[in-house]
Amino acid sequence: MPCSALARRRRATLAVGLVGAAAAFAARIALGAGDAARGWWAPGQGGTLPAESSYPNPSGRLGVLSASGPVEATGQPFFTPLGKNGRACVTCHQPSDAFSLSVDTIRARWDATGGGDPLFAAIDGANCPNLAVADPKSHSLLLSRGLIRVFLPWPPRARDGGAIEPEFTIEVVRDPTGCNTSPEYGLTSAHPTISVFRRPRPVANLRYVTAAEFGVGPFNAKDSQPTARDPDTGRLVNMQLMADAREPTLATQAQSAVVTHLEAKPLGAAALQKLIGFETQVFAAQIDDVRAGALVEPNGPAAFGPHALSVGRTSVLGNNTTNYVFPIGDAWRQITRTGEAAHDARSAAREAIARGHDVFFFRTFWIKDAMHINTVGLGNPAKRTCATCHGMHMTGMDTANGWMDIGTTNLPWASETPQNPWTKDKPEMPLFKLTCDKALAPHPFLGRVIYTQDPGRALITGRCNDIGTIVMQQFRGLAARAPYFSNGSARDLRELVDFYDRRFNIQYSEQEKQDLVAFLAAL
Amino acid sequence: MTPERFFEIRCLALVASIALGVVVRVTAQTPTAQPPPEPRALTAGTHRSFVDCPVVRDTNTVPCWLAEHDGELYYLGIQTDISADFHPPYLGHRALVEGVVKDGARICGGIVLDPVNVSTLPEIDGTCNTILPAEDRYQVPFAPRPPGPSAGRLAFAPPPGAASAKPALTGPQEFTIEYDFDTPIMGRHSGVLTRIYDYAAQTHARHLLVTGYRGATLLSDGSVMTERETMPEARAKEVATLLIGAGLPRGAIEVGWSTDVAPPDGDGDWHVRRTVVRVEP
């Protein structure tokens, strides 16, 4: 048999196998095998994370796959409280929430415990550690937007401890949390610190998040800065783990999180490997849609469900018609109606998902004044689509080091509370004024004076061009983990779509918006 | 800018040129007047260098990038992807256009400049904000990729195996990094930086000499634009810092620069804005 024919046969066999596995997964979920009620997984509670489990959310159900089989929580560092505040990794990375944390879950936890859950620990579950405990006002950003305090030294220091001379000065313009002007915790404290507030990222599907076989070289293709390396192996990493890319590997991220969020001592080598081993084998994606029904079924869209993620190819650029970002095929296009109401309604919802995919993939608009997008060689503006930036096969992340500024935290595009004589609403987010060095070229789109709610990557690099740049996230399990964007400024997927529509003057039709939301919710 | 506004400008330019012709004729009859300068004909091979706003014209596929100067429209290139040699400029900034008029039909309404080098100037200029709408008469059937997803590969990526066909480098090598005017390293330089890094790492280079230069460019109106005197040092030091940051030993890298400026002649002046890295294994 010729090699090409053999390869085709192998691919066909693999495809049949995948469809079979996915269908079996869907069947088991439908029957409730391994099913778990949507609920809180408390640190140290014990129990088993099944190989397959599912959790309801407003859009349907999320499927979780533990690819190596059931995991006993006892003895697994991910589920174990390690420090004095009683938290574990699972506190902010709940299986039901695609291993992130929705604001609905946070509020439910507040109501259930009166604010006594370790989630609300003063260190970063409060707006500032010096605020009154168990007072919801002290935790307003966590309760309203799902935001955890991230506190970073200023000026920044290199990973080797060397000094970094920032290209800009920073002033606190607005400090509703009080933390940035606190004499104890703020910018003028003995250890000058900037507090920003960010959403927990999903700890699932990480084999995609950490893959570095495409678009990762010694110098970042977006700004030619040196790419970070794994301190243990010296290998280049893709810098996609965190909103500001400050930790290069799962190991360094875990140790940093253990020390800060858990207020614990660093993990030993064996525990660290056990933790990473767990994190890299869990997959999460939506499996059921309240309108479209089962998302995973024979001959259905190949991208959906956690099984597809567990076997998908990593480090693949999907912004092309040979490797779609999210391969969904044609099965859900123009489905024949039967006249049976439930079937036809489900068919209509499936067609909406397929149309939403096409909006994501093919609908062009002008991408303008976006740092590390328009500056990479496409020009300003560039006429492209969502998939231009969200191009990684199966996740919609960037394939290369992916911090960009689309305006989620930088003014004038960041969502701000309107101030006028007729409202008592006050801004929730801090606001900083950053003034770039006059001797250097200005930021090409924002000039030399930039106002931002979160300087993003610039708090790590000190570079003017990095102000407000945020590493983009994966798109999977979105329905389980609202709100969206690093600062939680989009309450739901519709608001996320509306933000892009405003930001880039896309002029989506109402139908396009609804279809795009339906598609994103199905991921 | 609307098409109507553009048409108005073209008309104004026409009126102005007619008026100039009248003045020239009148002046020519005056014995004491100096002879008027010869208008530069835009024949093939004519060098055109100027600073003005870039303009983007939408089409039913990818956008065309143009620049309007002295009432004339020049075609610079199209949007493709990061593998292209031509990287479009930015609206919101003026651009330094350095090119040569190419024979043949206009593209997207503009006289074709080829070769052409376009530098986005660093300072923001909000007056450069023209997006022309798509019109059926402007087509770009030669676009190697559409405005959205490609057919499978980057537009100008070398075919598989092309890289291995090149002979392996040996011995001392010089690598040249060319810049936009008055501009430091940009994202598009990651490729040449990687080649320098790879060669130095593979050969365990004992010495790298990084030398920064600046340049000047002769504009079509006869004036000269010269880069800032600080650019050579800044360029050399930035490249050295990046190479060290990527992992090359600090002690192997020597930095130098020259603030001298060669007289520009309008022919490929952009090649002078450079940093040269000599890698000695």
CA distance B107 to B74: 9
Question: pLDDT tens digits for B143-168?
Answer: 999 999 998 878 877 766 665 566 78
Long-range CB contacts (< 8 A, 24+ apart) of B117-120? Answer: B117/B270, B118/B54, B118/B65, B118/B67, B118/B76, B118/B77, B118/B86, B118/B87, B118/B88, B118/B89, B119/B89, B119/B95, B119/B180, B119/B181, B119/B182, B119/B183, B119/B270, B120/A444, B120/B89, B120/B90, B120/B93, B120/B95, B120/B180, B120/B183
Q: Domain of B86: which CATH number?
A: 2.40.50
Q: Which residues of B touch A222 (CB under 8 A)?
A: 187
Handedness of CA A358, A360, A362, A364 (dihedral sign): positive
pTM greater than 0.80: yes
Residue A20 pLDDT > 80: no
Span B68-113, pLDDT tens digits: 999 999 999 999 988 888 999 999 999 999 999 999 999 999 999 9
Q: Which helix (H) or strand (E) holds A472?
A: none
Angle at the Cα of A112 from the Cα atoms of A117 and A138, rounded to 5 degrees: 55
- Please report whether residue B161 resides in a domain: no
Based on the fold, state whether residues B98 and B181 are members of the same structural domain: no
Block residue for tokens 């924002």: A446
Do B48 and B152 belong to one domain? Answer: yes
pLDDT band for position B34 (50/70/90)?
low
What number of other Cβ atoms are within 10 A of residue B14's Cβ? 11
Structural contact between residues B64 and B56, judged by C-beta atoms closer than 8 angstroms: yes
A and B: number of Cβ contacts within 8 A: 135
A276-307 residue pLDDT tens? 999 999 999 999 999 999 999 999 999 999 99
| Contact between chains at A320 and B186 (C-beta distance less than 8 A) | no
* A123-134 residue pLDDT tens: 999 999 999 988
B35 plus B47 within the same structural domain: no
Residue B162 belongs to a domain: no
pLDDT in tens, B3-13: 444 434 444 44
Report the domain count for chain B.
3
Burial (CB count within 10 angstroms: exposed 0-12, middle 13-18, buried 19+), residue A354: buried
Question: At which of B156, B178, B211 does a domain end?
Answer: B156
- A183-211 mean pLDDT: 97
Q: Determine, for residues B92 and A378 on separate chains, whether the beta-carbon distance falls below 8 Å.
A: no
CA distance A242 to A237: 12
Taking contacts as CB-CB distances below 8 angstroms, the residues of chain B near A219 are 189-190, 193-194, 197, 242, 246
What confidence category does residue A314 fall into, taking pLDDT thresholds of 50, 70 and 90? very high
For residue range A420-457, what is the model confidence (pLDDT) as tens digits?
999 999 999 999 999 999 999 999 999 999 999 999 99
Q: How far apart are the first and last CA of chain A?
A: 38
Which of A308, A336, A471 is closest to A393 using CA atoms?
A308
B75 and B182 share a domain?
A: no
Q: Is residue B209 part of a domain?
A: yes
What's the pLDDT at A17?
44
Q: Which residues of A touch B58 (CB under 8 A)?
A: 383
pLDDT of residue B276: 98
Domain-embedded: residue B164: no
Q: Do A379 and B246 lie within an 8 Å CB cutoff?
A: no
Question: Would you call B82 and A221 a contact, using CB atoms and an 8 Å cutoff?
Answer: yes
Cis peptide before A155 (omega within 30 of 0): yes
Which helix (H) or strand (E) segment is A449 a member of?
strand A449-452
The residue of chain B nearest to residue A377, with distances taken between CA atoms, is: B87
Q: Are residues B104 and B181 in the same domain?
A: no
Share of chain A above pLDDT 90, in %: 90
Nearest to B82 among A227, A361, A376 (CB): A376
Q: Are residues B196 and B268 in the same domain?
A: yes
Contact predicate B274/B183, CB 8 Å:
no
* Residue-level length of chain B: 281
- Three state DSSP letters for chain B: CCHHHHHHHHHHHHHHHHHHHHHHHHHHCCCCCCCCCCCCCCCCCCEEEEEECEEEECCCCCCEEEEEECCEEEEEEECCCCCCCCCCCECCEEEEEEEEECCCCCECCEEEEEEEEEEEEEEECCCCCEEECCCCCCCCCCCCCCCCCECCCCCCCCCCCHHHHCCCCCCCEEEEEECCCCCCCCHHHHHHHHHHHHHHHHCCCCEEEEEECCCEEECCCCCEEECCCCHHHHHHHHHHHHHHHHCCCHHHEEEEECCCCCCCCCCCHHHHCEEEEEEEC
- For residues B145 and B194, membership in a common domain is answered with no
Q: Indicate if B208 and B276 belong to the same structural domain.
A: yes
Residues B245, B262: Cα–Cα separation, whole Å: 32
Q: Which amino acid is at B164?
A: S
Q: Give domain status of residue B213, yes or no.
A: yes
- Within a domain: residue B165? no
- List the single best residue of A235, A360, A375, A383 to mutate versus B (max B Cβ within 10 A): A383
Q: What is the pLDDT of residues B250-266, one digit of tens each?
A: 999 999 999 999 999 99
* Stretch B34-63: mean pLDDT: 82
- Residue B21 in this model has a pLDDT that exceeds 50: no
Q: Are the beta carbons of A33 and A54 closer than 8 angstroms? A: no
Residue span of the structural domain in which B29 resides: 1-39
Q: Are residues B212 and B229 in the same domain?
A: yes
Q: Are residues B175 and B235 in the same domain?
A: yes
Residue B221 lies in a domain: yes
Residues B4 and B46 in one domain: no
Distance CA A252, CA A228 (A): 12
Residue B143, in any domain of the structure: yes
| Residue A27 pLDDT class (50, 70, 90 cuts) | very low
Pair (B5, B46) in one structural domain: no
pLDDT interval class at B18 (50, 70, 90):
very low
Residue A160 pLDDT: 86
Residue pair A442/B122 in contact by the 8 Å Cβ criterion: yes
What are the residues of chain A with a beta carbon less than 8 Å away from any beta carbon of chain B?
217-227, 229, 319-324, 361-362, 364, 366, 368-369, 372, 374-385, 387-388, 441-442, 444-445, 447
Q: Write the residue in A320, A369, A379 that is nearest to B151 by C-beta.
A: A320
Q: How far apart are CA A422 and CA B41, in angstroms?
A: 64
Distance CA A192, CA B206 (A): 41
Return the percent helix, strand and coil in chain A, to nearest 5. Answer: 30, 15, 50
d(CA B114, CA B156): 17
- Hey, are the CB atoms on A377 and B87 less than 8 Å from each other? yes
B70 Cβ under 8 Å from any chain A Cβ:
no
